[in-house]
Structure 1
Amino acid sequence: MSIKEWEGSPLRSPVIHSLILNSLHSNYQIFAFKMKYAFTATTLAATLGLAIAIAVEPRQSSSYVKTSGQRFTLDGQKFTVAGSNAYWIPQLSNNADITKAFNDLKNAQVGFTTLRTWGFNDVTGPSGTYYQIWNGKTATLNTGADGLGKFDTVVAQAKAAGIRLIVPLTNNWQDYGGMDVYVKQLLGSDKHDLFYTDSTVKNAFKKYISGFVGRYKNEPTIMAWELANEPRCKGSTGTTTGTCTTKTITQWATEMSAYIKSIAPNQLVAMGDEGFYNQPSAPTYPYQGSEGIDFDANLKISSIDFGTFHSYPEHWGQSSNVVGWGAQWIKDHATSQKAANKPVILEEFGVTSAYNPSSTYTNWWDTIISSGLTGDLIWQAGSTLSSGNTHDDGFTVYPGEAEYTLQTKYAAALKARA
């Protein structure tokens, strides 16, 4: 998602070196809260404090996660998607902090299996970790230590912790570059939706996909690639051509998902969208199709393996009924899941402290369990690293907080569900 949408505007504040990865492959073959690896059980918190760079033994299957009807499977058995987002992990300058973050998630000891983290950062000048740098109309993939070499580290640490990664490949919002960089650099335009229709832009994105996905196409730690984080007709500025519709994005998704499948047929592909419906007469905006997303149509795309949706009713005009609206949102996507016979996950959700997160999340997690929805990833759990706590965007949950304890409880319940 966008780091967070306050009334429609994203608030996003915000493997090892190739050689290291090759050596790791010899030992264990195989990726965001918003990845928050603050999932350490409280009983282990003190121990983890002593083990910032402690090695974690590989315990991950070398098989790929697959789908079977409405389930994910691994080695023929049910695979539960339960975990968090942590978009910030690849941006950590200290590799020991990356290890700590994954240890936090692993040591929750309640079955956290999955992390979602960014597979994009487009820049026009070198800064921190970045994956693609633009010089005029020319984009160059950064394969160095501050580029894909850093993502090598993320993948290696995820593998060692037994965590699977879901990786979006660009952003609807301007944080970390995203779609608008392509449109501006290649076309000199501010029309966000040209990203979906202009052939020059689409070819440039395919080139990026080829380089990034191609590097990890044989890595089972990558459970899934997502076309984008929260694709919409409008981006951060709201400027469009005025011609973008749900069909525009569905056609783009069909083309790009098939392209990813042609490169990495063993890895899953999803939209990474917010799950908006296309029901123009519906009473609330997330159902009306005005953002260019038709969840049911996109879920029918043959090269889309599973559905994704997000839930931020507080910022989608539903503040008068956050709990009830959010629960119905989950039920409706579970209904779509059954109709398409594909897995569907709530891969981002959150409310601020004004809406009693503990009580709200309890209701939503109960609804996830009872509705049969395939899985969920919270936005977002936090960690305490060498520089202190990870960024709190108003939704972050840290160890010891009530929501943290609830998240671990419901992850275990989801895993135990038949």
Structure 2
Amino acid sequence: MAGNGLLYPLLGFTSCLAFMYMFLGDLSFTSYKQPKMSFVDTNGAQFMVDGKAFYVNGWNSYWLMYLATDYNTAPRVREVLQLGAKMGLTVCRTWAFNDGAYNALQISPGQFDERVFRALDHVIAEARLHGIRLILSLVNNLHNFGGKTQYVKWAWEEGVALSASNDSFFFDPSIRSYFKNYVKAILTRKNSATGIEYRDDPTIFAWELMNEPRCFSDPSGDTLQDWIEEMAGFVKKIDKKHLLTVGLEGFYGRTSPGKLNLNPAEWAGAFGTDFIRNSKIPTIDFASVHVYPDHWFDDLDLEDQIKFASKWVKSHIEDGDNELKKPILFTEFGLSANQKNFQPLHREKFYKTIYDLIYKSAKKKGSGAGAFVWQFIVGGMEEYEDGNGIVPWERASTYSIITEQSCRLARIQGGQDQLQGSLKDLCSKMVN
């Protein structure tokens, strides 16, 4: 017992030192040492940085903030960001939320865990250090990490909820107020590592209102449309510097009857989402689309899944070119290893299909502005493997396909002579 009495304070002191180093002691995060970075803007259907077109080869690592809360797992944040930079990737999409769950950022409406907020600070500072921009998603449609379910639960427990339905997240005034307070807290947060408010930090590529919003209770789409308009306007009043997207999967709705047959199936038109209508809102700067043909069509063989994916991507790029006049980002695409008879080369063929369509659009200065692999993980993260996770360096051919796309897009942006640093070295080894 006496030994334990000495051990616990020692462990606590060691933990404290580790967190102090992570969030306070790393001088590379001081504002004067942050690499120069400009805000991303749009010009019609193209992203622009410093007056030049900007195309994205990106990836998803939704777990960055979550792992940054623990000094045992925080090194994986740096590891994956270093990896992305080495591969010539430029933007990572990740969660800026964890509502009411383990290691919650928002413990209850408007109440935050400063330790977790400092972890998000760390993620943003670390990304800047490696020249990586971030798309930060603000809430989940799914129950993972709290999501809209948690907001409804809070309102119900406080006795102010209009309904126990998860979709009341979109129409209940009290819940809308909860979410607005959360958004304001995030956007105006002063980063403890860099001293920069989030709304003033160009490391943030864009805000995403919600990951994969769906409103089953109103398939007309009116409820979700009203929520998007209100929340997009609210974000833009606070932050006029950053781009904003909805977080859509890309399903067509009732205002696009001629496109309903392009959805994966009839069910996709009943979610209350409406890709063109939702994305046309003036305060939404670019549209997002997800691509999961194996998840949507588990009865199709690989060739037919890829054919659908190709048609799906082309259709949305045409929407960006001809109707929306905005950039289109395919913010999630993946092919699961959990499929029957899966082989890694199947995934590589799928990746190559998506990348080639983006490259073709980019060469024509079209709206196809980039794509994000779902998802990158690093060693020791088996519990985060959902069938789509990859450790890129473990398979040379996969690594090559992804890095080749970085080089192709970089050449469009500035030509081989304009490539800098590690990207120049990487791309000099590759042919056009």
Is residue 313 from structure 1 mapped to residue 303 from structure 2 by the alignment?
Answer: no
- CA distance in 2 between partners of 1:283 and 1:275 (Å): 10
Do the aligned partners of 1:85 and 1:116 also contact (CA within 8 Å) in 2? yes
Q: Which has the higher contact order (CA 8 A, sep 6+)?
A: 1
Seen in structure 2, the aligned counterparts of structure 1 residues 286 and 88 have a Cα distance that, compared at 3 Å, is farther
Do the aligned partners of 2:39 and 2:205 also contact (CA within 8 Å) in 1? yes
Matches within 5 A, 1:117-196: 117-123=94-100, 127-128=102-103, 130-134=104-108, 138-142=109-113, 144-145=114-115, 147-187=116-156, 189-196=163-170
Do the aligned partners of 2:29 and 2:126 also contact (CA within 8 Å) in 1? no
* Residue matched to 2:238: 263
- CA distance in 1 between partners of 2:242 and 2:22 (Å): 22
Shift of 1:363: 1.9
* Residue matched to 1:49: none
Do the aligned partners of 1:246 and 1:289 also contact (CA within 8 Å) in 2? no
Q: Secondary structure at the match of 1:201?
A: helix
* Residue matched to 1:379: 374
Q: 2:390 aligns with which of 366, 389, 397?
A: 397
- CA distance in 1 between partners of 2:297 and 2:381 (Å): 34
CA offset digits 1:305-360 (Å, max 9, x no partner): 00000011112236422100000000011011112111111010111234511122
Q: Secondary structure at the match of 1:224?
A: strand
Shift of 1:292: 1.1
- CA distance in 2 between partners of 1:346 and 1:270 (Å): 12
Seen in structure 2, the aligned counterparts of structure 1 residues 197 and 209 have a Cα distance that, compared at 3 Å, is same
Q: 2:403 aligns with which of 384, 395, 408?
A: 408
- CA distance in 2 between partners of 1:302 and 1:208 (Å): 23
- CA distance in 1 between partners of 2:230 and 2:89 (Å): 32
| Equivalent AA in structure 2 for residue 24 of structure 1 | F
**Pairwise CA RMSD of aligned residues?**
2.3
Shift of 1:139: 4.1
* Residue matched to 1:218: 200
Gaps of 5+ in 2: 1-20, 158-162, 190-197, 363-367, 414-432
Matches within 5 A, 1:13-412: 24-29=29-34, 58=35, 60-61=36-37, 63-92=38-67, 93-94=70-71, 95-108=74-87, 111-123=88-100, 127-128=102-103, 130-134=104-108, 138-142=109-113, 144-145=114-115, 147-187=116-156, 189-215=163-189, 216-234=198-216, 242-243=217-218, 245-278=220-253, 279=256, 282=261, 284-285=263-264, 289-317=269-297, 319-320=299-300, 321-339=304-322, 340-353=324-337, 354=339, 356-372=346-362, 373-384=368-379, 387=380, 391-398=384-391, 399-401=393-395, 402-412=397-407
Seen in structure 2, the aligned counterparts of structure 1 residues 187 and 17 have a Cα distance that, compared at 3 Å, is farther
- Runs of 4+ aligned residues of structure 1 deviating over 4 Å after TM superposition are 16-23, 283-288, 387-390
Do the aligned partners of 2:29 and 2:129 also contact (CA within 8 Å) in 1? no
Seen in structure 2, the aligned counterparts of structure 1 residues 264 and 86 have a Cα distance that, compared at 3 Å, is same
Gaps of 5+ in 1: 1-15, 30-57, 235-241
Q: Secondary structure at the match of 2:273?
A: coil
| Equivalent AA in structure 2 for residue 148 of structure 1 | F
Q: Secondary structure at the match of 2:332?
A: strand
Do the aligned partners of 2:98 and 2:106 also contact (CA within 8 Å) in 1? yes
- CA distance in 2 between partners of 1:71 and 1:20 (Å): 39
| Equivalent AA in structure 2 for residue 345 of structure 1 | L
Shift of 1:283: 6.4
Seen in structure 2, the aligned counterparts of structure 1 residues 284 and 227 have a Cα distance that, compared at 3 Å, is closer
Seen in structure 2, the aligned counterparts of structure 1 residues 283 and 224 have a Cα distance that, compared at 3 Å, is closer
Percent identical among aligned pairs is 32
- CA distance in 1 between partners of 2:66 and 2:26 (Å): 18
Seen in structure 2, the aligned counterparts of structure 1 residues 27 and 20 have a Cα distance that, compared at 3 Å, is farther
CA offset digits 1:108-142 (Å, max 9, x no partner): 2xx21000000100116xx33x21012xxx54122
Shift of 1:230: 0.4
Shift of 1:299: 1.6
- CA distance in 2 between partners of 1:86 and 1:77 (Å): 27
| Equivalent AA in structure 2 for residue 350 of structure 1 | G
CA offset digits 1:368-413 (Å, max 9, x no partner): 22244111111012222xx466732111122132333211212222
Query: Which of the pair has more CA radius of gyration?
Result: 2
Q: TM-score, normalised by structure 2?
A: 0.77
- CA distance in 2 between partners of 1:255 and 1:209 (Å): 12
- CA distance in 1 between partners of 2:56 and 2:407 (Å): 11
CA offset digits 1:237-294 (Å, max 9, x no partner): xxxxx34531211111111011111111101110011011114552644675211111
| Equivalent AA in structure 2 for residue 121 of structure 1 | N
- CA distance in 1 between partners of 2:407 and 2:111 (Å): 43
- CA distance in 2 between partners of 1:187 and 1:258 (Å): 27
- CA distance in 1 between partners of 2:124 and 2:292 (Å): 29
- Alignment: residue pair count: 354
- CA distance in 1 between partners of 2:41 and 2:66 (Å): 29
Shift of 1:415: 2.7
Do the aligned partners of 1:85 and 1:117 also contact (CA within 8 Å) in 2? yes
Seen in structure 2, the aligned counterparts of structure 1 residues 66 and 283 have a Cα distance that, compared at 3 Å, is closer
In proportion to residue count, which structure has more helix? 2
